[in-house]
């Protein structure tokens, strides 16, 4: 039997952080062993909010390099850049024309991001989930590993595939698009901000101190953890709704030190922040060190990354073109049947 297909992607908007790694990319590394994996850098998504053209290409490269540094192996997985496979934009258009506007208007991420943009909200920001649906559906993905915040977008992709394409233009025996399943990893699925345990760690937070970037040097990691918000109570614990920062930092410690949550819960049950924070900083620095070393090697050899992305583009295009042709034929386009 063919291996189940997995597709996922991250936007090249600034440096990737611990949330992106622990909530997303870390899982990809395991999946490439057992699944047919496609990982893209979704640069078309990055322009749905105002962007700096002078940085887009460099950020796209560094995000791809970080995938590899995190352990994605181009011999096992297809790593590619979304904008280099034209079928993404084209399928997005076809899907746009069958997606009800009100499905997009109720997307939580749209509402949140739109609030921040004020009068400058682009049509692209509203359309973001349809492009994401195209990303997924083009590859006949069975599974889409993402953080919890992306679950609503995945449901939308499923609804578009099933209700708007397959049931209108296909038959039960011959569906046009594969309906994907979400794959949400619970533990570590949501890493919270270092400065506010109730909001998620995010690239878009203007406060640098709120996140640990994967390429932050050890001193900076230590400094950010030292300044992380805490509470005045002694002893650390999971699950106390009054102590979201404690829950988050303890959870990070478990993930970064590779220990079970019960183990760290008992190790830290009596601990004060003065003892805990240096431990957490040490675990974070140690967990990121091998990744940072691999990244430096890749940065020193740009031709290697070029080769990986050219190869990925070719493999991705072959799959995407076939799905696009099938969809165009089902929709009745001239020359597509």
Tell me how far apart the alpha carbons of residues 83 and 105 are, in angstroms, rounded to a whole number. 25
Helices marked H in 190-301: 218-227, 244-257, 261-267, 273-299
List the catalytic residue out of 76, 113, 151, 328. Answer: 113
**Does residue 23 belong to the site contacting ligand ADP (CB under 6 A)?**
yes
Nearest Cα neighbor of 160 from 88, 90, 87, 95 is: 95
Which residue in 151, 178, 203, 229 is the catalytic one? 203
The yes or no reply on residue 15 touching ligand ADP (CB under 6 A) is no
For the CA atoms of the chain, what is the radius of gyration?
21
Minimum Å gap between C-beta 13 and ligand ADP is: 6
Run of H or E including 183: strand 181-184
Among the listed residues 34, 26, 36, 6, the one whose alpha carbon sits nearest the alpha carbon of residue 66: 26
Task: Identify which of residues 133 and 254 has a Cβ nearer to ligand TRP in the complex.
Answer: 133
132 touches, from ligand ADP, ligand TRP, none (C-beta below 5 to 8 Å by class):
ligand TRP
Min dist CB 196 to ligand ADP, Å, is: 12
203 catalytic? Reply is yes
| Pure H helices in the chain | 18-20, 26-34, 43-46, 53-69, 87-96, 101-105, 108-117, 123-137, 151-159, 167-169, 218-227, 244-257, 261-267, 273-299, 302-331
Burial class (CB in 10 A: 0-12, 13-18, 19+), 50: exposed
Query: Tokens 């870390």 correspond to what residue?
Result: 26
Least Å distance, CB 284 to ligand TRP, is 22
The least CB distance from residue 19 to ligand ADP, in Å, is 3
Question: For ligand TRP, which is the closer residue by CB, 55 or 151?
Answer: 151
Strand partners, 183: 145
Which residues on neighbouring strands pair with residue 80, listed in sequence order?
40
Given ligand ADP, ligand TRP, none, residue 207, with its beta carbon under 5 to 8 Å by kind, binds none
Any catalytic annotation for residue 151? Answer: no
Binding residues for ligand ADP restricted to 69-108, rule: CB under 6 A? none
Tokens, residue 166: 């397959």
Shortest distance, position 300 Cβ to ligand ADP, whole Å: 26
Residue 9 in contact with ligand TRP, rule: CB under 6 A = yes
Contact code string over 108-147 relative to ligand ADP, x by CB under 6 A: --------------------------------------xx
113 is catalytic: yes
Site string for ligand TRP, 143-172 (x = CB under 6 A): -x-x---x--x-------------------
Binding site for ligand TRP (CB under 6 A): 7-11, 42, 45, 132, 135-136, 144, 146, 150, 153
Which residues are tagged catalytic?
A: 113, 200, 203
């Amino acid at each position: 039997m063919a291996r189940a297909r997995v597709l996922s992607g991250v936007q090249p908007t600034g440096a990737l952080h611990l949330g992106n790694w622990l909530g997303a990319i870390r899982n990809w590394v395991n999946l490439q062993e057992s699944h047919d994996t496609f990982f893209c850098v979704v640069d078309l998504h990055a322009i749905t909010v105002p962007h700096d053209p002078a940085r887009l290409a460099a950020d796209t490269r560094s995000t791809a390099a970080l995938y590899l540094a995190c352990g994605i192996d181009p011999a096992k997985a297809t790593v590619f850049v979304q904008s280099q496979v034209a079928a993404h934009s084209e399928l997005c258009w076809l899907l746009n024309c069958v997606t009800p506007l009100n499905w997009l208007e109720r997307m939580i991420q749209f509402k949140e991001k739109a609030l921040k943009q004020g009068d400058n909200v682009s049509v692209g920001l509203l359309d973001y989930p349809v492009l994401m649906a195209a990303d997924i559906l083009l590859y006949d993905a069975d599974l889409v590993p993402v953080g919890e915040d992306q679950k609503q977008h995945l449901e939308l992709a499923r609804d578009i595939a099933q209700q708007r394409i397959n049931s209108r233009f296909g038959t039960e025996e011959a569906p046009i698009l594969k309906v994907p399943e979400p794959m949400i990893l619970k533990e570590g699925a949501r890493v919270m901000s270092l400065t506010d345990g109730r909001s998620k760690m995010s690239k878009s937070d203007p406060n640098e101190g709120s996140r640990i970037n994967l390429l932050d040097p050890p001193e900076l990691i230590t400094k950010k953890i030292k300044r992380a918000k805490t509470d005045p109570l002694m002893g650390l614990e999971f699950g106390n709704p009054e102590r979201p920062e404690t829950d988050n930092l303890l959870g990070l410690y478990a993930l970064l030190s590779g220990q079970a949550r019960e183990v760290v819960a008992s190790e830290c049950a009596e601990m004060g922040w003065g003892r805990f924070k240096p431990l957490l900083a040490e675990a974070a620095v140690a967990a990121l060190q091998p990744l940072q070393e691999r990244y430096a090697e890749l940065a020193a050899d740009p031709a290697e990354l070029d080769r990986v992305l050219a190869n990925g583009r070719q493999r991705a295009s072959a799959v995407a073109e076939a799905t696009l042709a099938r969809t165009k034929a089902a929709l009745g386009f001239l020359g597509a049947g």
